[in-house]
A and B are shown apart, each in its own frame.
Chain A
Amino acid sequence: MQVPQPDILTLSSAGLLVATFGVVVRRSFAGWLSAYRYQTVVLAGTTAVIAYFADLPELYVAAALTLVIKAVLIPRILVRVTEKIKGEFKIEANPYVSIRLSVLISALLVALSYALVQETLSTASLDVLATTYVPVSVSLFFIGLFVMVSRRMALNQVVGLLIIENGLFLFTAALTYGLALIIEIGILADILVGVIIASVLLSRMSQTFDTLDMTRLENLRDD
């Protein structure tokens, strides 16, 4: 296999991280969605790059599917379903962790991810693709999780989840050059159905609870 140019790799990983930070800093649903879409496009490109260097035609298909499903279908579904939801529910006005602190923590998480990968996978002989993308994918995972933990709005959590999925996809592609295609399709289908179900739930939630604020969904607890 050919050795890819470091600058392409660095650029693409920077692009992914920037998109992720976009989700962290923005407050509105539209903002998150566009950042996510941007991230997915970069991700598909990155996958194509990996496919190219690893010489795996299957991975091109996976990249294409990702592009179609994640960058086109999913945002469209989300937009369609949330049309009826009042605009005020789509804004993260008062997160548990302030935006400014969130950015700091996200940066820390990125550093943590690099350290973690260094620590855990150092013994294994990682190729240059993996060394570049694996830390990025782990950061995506952690930041996604952090977004889900620190935000109150249900929509923001969906976006966090999608970021995690992107991280996962990148992780798969970088570390093992993707799973078997049928599995990838299965995973993508799961994600797609998941998002559809989530959006149905969101619209029901806004009807029943008249809000998407998670603080209202605390009735099921023990005390």
Chain B
Amino acid sequence: MVWWNPLANAAQPFLPTSSSGLIVSLLLTPAVGGLLVTLLRGKRASGVITVASTLLVLVQTLVLIGDIIAEKQLSAFGGLFYLDALGALILLPIAGVGFVSAIYSINYMGRQHERGLLDDKHITRYYQLFNAFMLTMLLVPVSNNMGLMWVAIEATTLVSVLLIMLYTKEGAIEAAWKYLIIATVGLSLALFGIVLFSYSEATAAPSSVSSAAASSLNWTYVSANAASLNPEVVKFAFIFVLIGFGTKAGLAPMHTWLPDAHSEAPTPVSALLSGVLLNCSIYAILRFDIVTSGTLGSAFSSQMLVILGAVSMGVAAASIYFAKDMKRMLAYSSVEHMGIITLGVGFGGFLGIFGALFQIINHAIAKSLMFFASGTISQKYDTKAISEIKGILKIMPVTGVVFLIGGLTIVGMPPFNIFAGEFLILTSGFSGGQFLAISLFLTFSVVIFAGLMKHLIPMVFGNPKGPGRETAIDANPKRDDMGWLAVVPMAALAAFLIMLGVYLPQPLETLIRDAVQVFNQG
């Protein structure tokens, strides 16, 4: 049952007829969007164009997913682009969060403009970069070639650095610099790994030395031949890839750039960075994990993944507990969730992978919601300091409620979706007998829960104005949620959080199941 059929039918005249063409048009959409923004230049127009282009991306993604569910895999452009269920699963949050973020941008960037923090030129550049960012991210899951994927991921770094640099204040420059340096170093490690992978094929089949250069870096080829790779080389290749993409995915202790970059970026971008971009790197790790498991068996990569996952949770727990800055706290929470996803993949088994993939979607929704809410809140209070923000519910009732829901979600409270994912991961950990990792998981999640509640509850509840507290909130603040364009995206995301907590729609379930299948076939 394809529940988006009516939507797809309506969009049909504007879409290429063949599914593989759809991949290309998917990539073209943000490119065209960016071009139009450059040409038209209006503040209002660029926003509308971006929303339209992301909407189009979303529609195309949904159609593509429908096709993937039906046909399992698609390829285009002479095998350069390839999409299967796993890639489609990553595509979904990119398109979804991208669209919501574009809507939110109109309101948020508009207000930043009103307050004189940004001028017209900045706004145009913002929307150009936004489209470029979408393009680079979309490129990651659809590329069949490891090298191309690497290029795309490196490109996301560069574009997002530019987005962070939109502000010229000290923090933004510092964050952008650290992000650029660390991510680039990390990614060059990943490229080492990719080359080693490629080499492991060459050594396995010496006759194909010359052809190795071209097709050997394709997923389709590598995963089919995983068993014949040189195990010794694959082992080291995986370590390089894991640490390299792990840096970009924000796994501790390579996560150091993440809190800076995510907290200094414009809020809609923070949402994309945390909710979507991290997934792209996780996706890369997943792909290489498939190959490595095919060559070495799953024990080796599992061990590495579990170690990194547990460390990430621990570091995130410590930092969340002592957080002072709202957005940094959320950024650390992303580190935590990347850790959880990594743990899920490391635990393995159907449930572990299913949980991890489910968690990718859950986290994308929850974290973008949290960043949107925090953006609205920090605009209202004119600060990001946790101690300065009190009584959100009294000033912004809707924002307060969704912020609370999001907060409870990211700490893994039922009946919200992240709990379901974490439960699956825990279950798989137990069935694998990984008791040390599980007890660390539980301990850290309790610490994170305690830390987040300690910060979140006084922010949401209480009185906005207290004795001895000087904030931008005047004595009798008007109840105001900063416009419907800010509220609607958050409310929609919150609805998804609750729905996915108790009920997973059939198509999404099939998609995740197929993605797990991709995993298990490799």
Contact = CB atoms under 8 A, between A and B. Distances in A.
Contact of B180 (A175, A197, A222): A197
A120 B328 CA distance: 39
A2 interface: no
Nearest to B196: A175
B230 A124 contact: yes
A162 to B, nearest CB: 10
Contacts of A177: 209-210, 212-213
Interface string B154-184: 1101100110010011110111111011001
Interface string A41-79: 000000000000010101000000000000000000000
Nearest to A186: B151
Contacts of B184: 161, 194
Nearest to B204: A124
Nearest to B318: A222
B213 A187 contact: no
Interface string A128-148: 000000000000010001001
B125 to A, nearest CB: 12
B324 to A, nearest CB: 8
Given A194-B180, A197-B158, A179 B230 contact: no
Contacts of A54: 209-210
Interface in B227-270: 230, 232-233, 236, 259-260, 263-264
Contact of B145 (A56, A145, A180, A220): A180
Interface string B111-155: 000000000000000000000000000000000010110110011
A220 B213 contact: no
Interface residues on B, range: 35 or more
A81 interface: no
B437 interface: no
A123 B232 contact: yes
A68 B429 CA distance: 52
A201 interface: yes
A5 interface: no
A145 B180 CA distance: 14
Contacts, number: 140
A190 B158 contact: yes
A193 B206 contact: no
A119 B145 CA distance: 29
Given A161-B181, A165-B188, A201-B176, A56 B148 contact: no
B171 A220 contact: yes
A217 interface: yes
Interface stretch (A92-100, A105-113, A202-210): A202-210
B39 interface: no
Nearest to B195: A172
A198 B195 contact: no
Interface residues on A, range: 35 or more
A125 B170 contact: no
A190 B165 contact: no
Contact of B170 (A165, A175, A186, A219): A219
A183 B145 contact: yes
Interface string B193-214: 0011011101100100110111
B217 interface: yes
Contacts of B195: 168, 171-172, 175-176, 179
A157 interface: yes
B288 to A, nearest CB: 16
B203 A124 contact: yes
Contact of A186 (B147, B174, B192): B147
23 contacts: A120-B232, A120-B236, A125-B203, A141-B192, A148-B185, A168-B188, A168-B192, A175-B198, A176-B199, A179-B147, A179-B217, A183-B150, A183-B151, A186-B151, A194-B154, A194-B158, A194-B184, A197-B158, A197-B165, A201-B177, A208-B168, A217-B177, A220-B259
Interface of A: 54, 56, 58, 120-121, 123-125, 141, 145, 148, 154, 157, 161, 164-165, 168, 171-172, 175-180, 182-183, 186-187, 189-190, 193-194, 197-198, 200-201, 204-205, 208-209, 217, 219-220, 222
Interface of B: 145, 147-148, 150-151, 154-155, 157-158, 161-162, 165, 168-171, 173-178, 180-181, 184-185, 188, 191-192, 195-196, 198-200, 202-203, 206, 209-210, 212-214, 217, 230, 232-233, 236, 259-260, 263-264, 319, 322-324, 328
Given A120-B233, A123-B232, A194-B157, 17 more contacts: A121-B233, A124-B200, A141-B192, A145-B185, A161-B188, A176-B195, A176-B202, A176-B212, A177-B212, A178-B213, A180-B214, A183-B151, A187-B154, A201-B173, A208-B168, A217-B173, A219-B171
Closest 6 pairs between A and B when the two form their complex, measured CB to CB: A183-B147, A186-B151, A220-B260, A124-B203, A190-B154, A217-B174
